[in-house]
Amino acid sequence: MDMTLQRFEQGPNGIFSNLLDDQGRKVDVTVTHAYVSDAGWQPKVPPGRYLCVRGTHSLDGVHHFDTFEITGVEGHKGILFHQGNVEEESKGCELIGGHVGTLLTHGTEEEAVLDSAEAFKYFMRLQGDATEFWLTVTED
């Protein structure tokens, strides 16, 4: 199922997006790391259209999991959809959550995506047996 990543917030707590299905319905939310640039807070994946390819990946070299890699991002590879809550966990990947809320990290409340494990499972179920899909990234 093709999807759209519609960004709605950019700042020091990350870049937040709605993940929409091919009918424009909200499926989940995501957060990715926000990199500081002269133009403000920037993600690794700029607006555009990208082929996402299913594969087995590892974030730590030990634990492997099935997910999709966002391919064709100039100057980058290994940008994945995966579980996580706060932007510092992403390193440019899209962390999937059920909704946006606050999480206590390092003694400070931080904006985050929550219910990540269930949201990631739902995302993978929606993709079924698909080996790839097209992702359109837009800014609100």
3-11 and 132-139 strand pairing = parallel
The full length of the chain comes to 140
Could you tell me the two tokens for 122?
A: 């739902």
- The pLDDT tens digits of the residues spanning 11-64 come to 989 999 999 999 999 999 999 999 988 888 899 999 999 999 999 999 988 999
Range 39-56 burial, b when 16+ CB lie within 10 A, else e: eebebbbeeeebebebee
- The pLDDT tens digits of the residues spanning 76-100 come to 999 999 999 999 899 899 999 999 9
